[in-house]
Amino acid sequence: MAKNEPIRLQKFISQCGVASRRKAEELILGGHVKINGKTAILGDKVTAADKVFVKGKRLVMPKAHYRYIMLNKPRGFITTMSDDRGRKCVAELVKDVGERVYPIGRLDKDSEGMLVLTNDGDFANKVMHPKNGVYKIYRVTVRPSIDEEQLIKLETGVELDGKKTAPARVHVLHKEQGRVVLEMMLHEGKNREIRRMCDAVGLEVARLKRTQIGCVKMGMLKQGDWRDLTEIEVKKLLASPIVNGKPI
Average pLDDT, 10 consecutive residues per value, the chain (248 residues): 75 82 92 96 91 93 83 96 91 91 92 94 82 87 96 94 91 95 88 93 97 95 97 87 45
CATH for 7-58 is: 3.10.290.10
Instruction: Write down the pLDDT at residue 244.
Output: 38
Residue 142's DSSP bridge partners are: 180, 205
Instruction: Write down the pLDDT at residue 6.
Output: 87
Whether 108 is a known active-site residue: answer yes
Which residue among the candidates 83, 108, 110, 225 is catalytic per the annotation? 108
Does 136-213 carry CATH code 3.30.70.1560?
Answer: yes
Question: pTM of the entire structure?
Answer: 0.74
Instruction: Write down the pLDDT at residue 245.
Output: 43
Q: Could you tell me the residue ranges of all domains in the chain?
A: 7-58, 64-132+218-248, 136-213
Burial class of residue 184, CB neighbours in 10 A (0-12, 13-18, 19+): buried
Instruction: Write down the pLDDT at residue 248.
Output: 46
CA distances 27 to 40, 162, 212, Å, are 10, 57, 50
**In whole angstroms, how large is the CA radius of gyration of the chain?**
23
Identical topology for domains 7-58 and 64-132+218-248:
no
For domain 64-132+218-248, give the fold.
Answer: Alpha-Beta Plaits (3.30.70)
